Chains A and B, each alone.
Chain A
Amino acid sequence: GAVVSQHPSRVICKSGTSVKIECRSLDFQATTMFWYRQFPKQSLMLMATSNEGSKATYEQGVEKDKFLINHASLTLSTLTVTSAHPEDSSFYICSASYGVPSTDTQYFGPGTRLTVL
Chain B
Amino acid sequence: AQKVTQAQTEISVVEKEDVTLDCVYETRDTTYYLFWYKQPPSGELVFLIRRNSFDEQNEISGRYSWNFQKSTSSFNFTITASQVVDSAVYFCALTLSNDMRFGAGTRLTVKP
Contact = CB atoms under 8 A, between A and B. Distances in A.
A111 B42 CA distance: 9
Contact of A42 (B33, B46, B97, B104): B104
A46 interface: yes
Contact of B35 (A32, A105, A111): A105
A106 B100 CA distance: 9
A110 interface: yes
Q: Do most interface residues of chain B lie in helix, strand or loop, or is the interface mixed? A: strand
A34 interface: yes
Interface residues of A, number: 23
B55 interface: no
A43 B47 contact: no
Interface residues of B, number: 23
Contacts of A113: 43
Given A43-B91, A43-B104, A44-B91, A110 B43 contact: yes
B97 to A, nearest CB: 5
A107 B43 contact: no
16 contacts: A2-B47, A32-B98, A42-B104, A42-B105, A43-B91, A43-B103, A43-B104, A43-B105, A44-B45, A46-B99, A91-B43, A101-B95, A102-B33, A106-B35, A106-B47, A108-B37
Interface of B: 33, 35, 37, 42-47, 50, 52, 91, 95-100, 102-105, 107
Interface of A: 2, 32, 34, 41-44, 46, 49, 91, 93, 95, 101-103, 105-111, 113
